[in-house]
Amino acid sequence: MNAAALPTRPLKHYAWLSIAAAIATILLKGIAWKLTGSVGLLSDAIESFVNLAGALMALAMLTLAALPADDNHAHGHSKAEYFSSAFEGFLILLAALSIGYTSIERLINPRALEAVGVGLLVSVVASVINLATAKILMKVGREQNSISLEADAHHLMTDVWTSAGVIAGVGLVWASDWLWLDPVIAMLVALNILWTAWQLMQRSASGLMDASLPAEQLKRIDTLLAAYREQGLDFHAVRTRQSGNRAFVTLHVLVPGHWTVQMGHDWADRIELDIGKAIPRAHITTHLEPMEDPVSMDDQGLDRPLH
Model confidence at 95: pLDDT above 60: yes
249 vs 113, residue with greater confidence: 249
Are 204 and 108 within one domain?
yes
302 in a structural domain: no
97 vs 259, residue with greater confidence: 259
80 in a structural domain: yes
Are 112 and 134 within one domain?
yes
Cα(165)–Cα(187) distance, integer angstroms: 11
307 in a structural domain: no
Select from 166, 190, 208 the last residue of a domain.
208
232 in a structural domain: yes
- The answer to whether the beta carbons of residues 197 and 90 sit under 8 Å apart is yes
Buried b / exposed e over 227-249, threshold 16 CB at 10 Å, is ebeeeebebeeeebbbbbbbbbb
Are 279 and 249 within one domain?
yes
- Give the pLDDT score at 93: 78
Tell me the pLDDT band of 9, cut-offs 50, 70 and 90: low
Provide the 10 A C-beta neighbour count for residue 132: 14
Are 252 and 192 within one domain?
no
271 in a structural domain: yes
306 in a structural domain: no
Nearest alpha carbon to residue 41 among 156, 143, 119, 146: 119
Are 196 and 47 within one domain?
yes
Tell me, what CATH number does 164's domain have? 1.20.1510.10
pTM (2 decimals)? Answer: 0.58
Nearest alpha carbon to residue 151 among 111, 201, 95, 191: 201
Are 38 and 79 within one domain?
yes
Are 16 and 48 within one domain?
yes
- The answer to whether the beta carbons of residues 281 and 247 sit under 8 Å apart is yes
Select from 208, 236, 263 the last residue of a domain.
208
Are 224 and 193 within one domain?
no
Select from 170, 188, 208 the last residue of a domain.
208
**What is the end-to-end Cα distance of the chain in Å, rounded?**
27
3 in a structural domain: no
Q: Which structural domain range is residue 219 located in?
A: 215-297
Are 46 and 78 within one domain?
yes
21 in a structural domain: yes
Are 99 and 156 within one domain?
yes
Are 277 and 255 within one domain?
yes
DSSP 8-state code for residue 145: T
pLDDT digit string (tens) for 236-276? 989 998 776 678 899 999 999 999 999 999 999 999 999 99
pLDDT digit string (tens) for 171-208? 777 777 777 776 777 777 777 778 777 777 777 777 67
Give the number of domains in the chain: 2
Model confidence at 6: pLDDT above 50: no
Are 164 and 259 within one domain?
no
DSSP string, 269-303: HHHHHHHHHHSTTEEEEEEEEETT-GGGGS--SSS
Tell me, what CATH number does 262's domain have? 3.30.70.1350
Provide the 10 A C-beta neighbour count for residue 269: 14
Which residues have CB under 8 Å from 58's CB, separation 6+?
15, 18, 84, 88, 148, 149, 151, 152
Model confidence at 8: pLDDT above 60: no
Cα(69)–Cα(63) distance, integer angstroms: 13
- The answer to whether the beta carbons of residues 63 and 168 sit under 8 Å apart is no
